[in-house]
Amino acid sequence: MDNRPIGVFDSGLGGLTSVRELARLLPGEDLLYFGDTARTPYGSRSRDTIIRYGREDVELLLARGVKAILCACNTVSSTLPADYTAGLPVPFVGVVDASAAAAVRATKNGRIGVIATAATVKSGSYTRALDALDGSLAVTAKACPLFVPVIENGYVGREEPIVTALAREYLAPLKEAGVDTLILGCTHYPLIAEAIADEMGPGVTLIDSGAQGALALRGALEGAGLLRARRSGGEVQFYVSDSGENFAEVGSLFLGKDLAGAVHPFTLAAP
- Domain at 178, CATH number: 3.40.50.1860
- The catalytic residues are 73, 186
- Give me the sheet containing 138-143, strands edge to edge: 138-143, 111-116, 181-184, 205-208
Q: In a structure prediction context, what are the per-residue pLDDT tens digits for the chain, which is 271 residues long?
A: 789 999 999 998 889 989 999 999 999 999 999 999 899 889 889 999 999 999 999 999 999 999 999 999 999 999 999 999 999 999 999 999 999 999 999 999 999 999 999 999 999 999 999 999 999 999 999 999 999 999 888 898 899 999 999 999 999 999 999 999 999 999 989 989 999 999 999 999 999 999 999 999 999 999 999 999 787 889 999 999 987 777 888 788 778 788 877 888 776 544 3
For the stretch 200-240, pLDDT in tens is: 999 999 999 999 999 999 999 999 999 997 878 899 999 99
- Percent of the chain topping pLDDT 70: 98
Q: Answer yes or no: is 1 within a domain.
A: no
Tell me, yes or no, whether 15 and 140 share the same domain.
no
Q: Answer yes or no: is 240 within a domain.
A: yes
Q: Answer yes or no: is 189 within a domain.
A: yes
Specify the 3-state DSSP secondary structure of 130: helix
Which residues fall within 8 angstroms of residue 16, CB to CB, at 6 or more apart? Answer: 10, 33, 187, 210, 251, 254, 255
Q: Which of 179, 209, 239 is the last residue of a domain?
A: 209
Q: Answer yes or no: is 271 within a domain.
A: no
Question: pLDDT at position 268, please?
Answer: 55
For the stretch 161-180, pLDDT in tens is: 999 999 999 999 999 999 99
Q: Answer yes or no: is 63 within a domain.
A: yes
Tell me, yes or no, whether 60 and 193 share the same domain.
no
| Helix, strand, coil abundance in the chain, percent, nearest 5 | 45, 15, 40
- Structure pTM? 0.89
In which domain, by residue range, is 119 found? 96-209
Q: Answer yes or no: is 155 within a domain.
A: yes
Tell me, yes or no, whether 175 and 132 share the same domain.
yes
Q: CA-CA distance, 101 to 103, in Å (whole number)?
A: 5
Tell me, yes or no, whether 148 and 176 share the same domain.
yes
In total, the chain counts a number of residues equal to 271
Question: pLDDT at position 267, please?
Answer: 60
What is the tally of structural domains in the chain? 2
Tell me, yes or no, whether 29 and 117 share the same domain.
no
